[in-house]
Amino acid sequence: FGSSRRAALSARLLRGARGRKPGFPRGGPSKKASAPRPFRPSRREMAVSALQVAGGMMGGGPRHSFAPASTLGVRSLREDYIKPVNRGDIARNLRIIEEYLERDAAMMDPVASEERLEYPRFQHLFATGEMLPLQVFTAALELGPAESLNGQSLPFDAEVLVLRDNLVVAYKPLVAKIRKLRAREIEDLPMRLISNFARAWTAFESAWLRNREVHAVHALQPIAKAILALEPLLLSLDKERLLPWPRVQHQKVVTLKCLEGFMHALSELSATVLPSLSRELDHDPRLLLLLEHVLSLRGGQGGFSSCLDGTSATPQVSFPDHQVVPKGMTKSSSIGTLAATAPPARGRGLPVDAYTFKLLGASVGDAVAAGKLRPETGNGQAGRAKLVMSGTIMEASRLRGAAGPAQESDISRRSASHAVELLGAFEAIKDLLLSLKSTLERVDPALDRDQAFIGLLQRFERCSRRAKRLLLEPDNLA
């Protein structure tokens, strides 16, 4: 019975094997056996692998080059090194590394980058003569993704951030080795670690200084534009002294255009370093002309002198006239005479002398009668131009010097004080910009942290706002 049962079972298996295709199990091919599934590591396995790679890099593993490569775990290292308790060790460790570099200088590449000598703006970082300055390494530890200059956020290149991380990674194994060296557990530092750190330092320093120079050039664009706008203004003022009458009047129009361009550039410069509440939002160059005219009617102000001397004699400059005169009526004889004899202004408005008379009660005729204004007064024959514009006869002006001085009003005295303050602030800004003309490659781009520069700008903006509120319509109507 047992043998017959085994024979029947063998015959059944043989019939089944003949009916199936070779290579497949019983029942035909299955979906699971059709193709092997690809290996897909889990998220946990991927995270463990990444941490192992990062740990190998921070542990001083062999690195053949310092090409940009992403690193992990460096942020916590930077935060740990920058703590006050660890700051003192950084300077000591850098001195020890520098001693080894000087000892084996013949066997290693130079550490200092070419940018140290190429960019004089950052010479103060290397003024001590150290090969590894503490300020550079501290800046690497504190380096963020962007640099803030004059209220602008200027991002660093991704290469700089990676090279920063590489520098910190190369520094970490040296910290442990130096600790053992000071404890006399080892006799010497591994030259491989020192060489890796030196290469990482050079690569970071080069890219970091290049990025900072690009940021500095971008941040200094407003002050460079102001200097470029100031130069043609000064050249035009010098040219006025050389031209004869009446060609000098055409040059005064050019000077006014240059003054408008400079005031626009100065407004942009103030907007980059001063908040809107601390500056005049709309600079009007006519205010400077008006104040220069006020001083000229007083015969000057002691020993005060301004480069804008004589600009108030520029023709075709109009000031607002909000006084409505009904038909059939005329203005007062003084204002009517001044407006009638003045050349036609651009658009509707009053010439500077008529506007000054309406505001202060002083005119060119009064100044001539008091002996305070003569044909030769002012740059570019400004006195002669004002006599012509006001209709005063030049021969008669030489006979009026014996007249006594007219009584001065309170607003006239205040306007003279504002004129000296604003034109003096303008002179200070001009002198500062001229002094920076040849040293822009050394100027600190953080202008908003320069207290002397900010003080001069704030003084000019404050004087401009006060004078505009007192003298220039419609601000003085509020």
Q: How many CB atoms lie within 10 A of CB 454?
A: 16
* pLDDT of amino acid 288: 92
Mean pLDDT by 10 residues, the chain (478 residues): 56 52 46 48 51 46 43 82 89 93 78 87 90 94 93 94 94 94 91 92 95 96 96 94 86 94 95 90 90 82 77 85 56 41 53 83 72 64 62 50 57 87 94 92 92 94 91 68
Element (H, E) at 98: helix 84-103
* pLDDT of amino acid 422: 93
Q: How far is CA 420 from CA 93, 248, 370, 417, in A?
A: 58, 26, 21, 5
Distance (Å, whole) CA 314 – CA 290: 11
* pLDDT of amino acid 196: 93
Nearest to 69 by CA among 155, 144, 164, 143: 164
C-alpha torsion angle, residues 375, 365, 294, 349 (rounded to 10): -110
Three-class SS state of 11: helix
Amino acid at the residue 212: R
Nearest to 295 by CA among 444, 419, 111: 419
Packing angle of the helix pair 247-273, 451-471 (nearest 10 deg): 120
The DSSP result for 394-434, as a single string, is HHHHTT-TTSPPPPPPHHHHHHHHHHHHHHHHHHHHHHHHH
Q: Are 372 and 298 in contact (CB under 8 A)?
A: yes
Q: How many CB atoms lie within 10 A of CB 334?
A: 15
Sign of CA dihedral 287, 292, 298, 304: positive
Distance (Å, whole) CA 422 – CA 294: 12
Amino acid at the residue 350: L
* pLDDT of amino acid 388: 62
Distance (Å, whole) CA 375 – CA 432: 33
Q: How many CB atoms lie within 10 A of CB 236?
A: 20
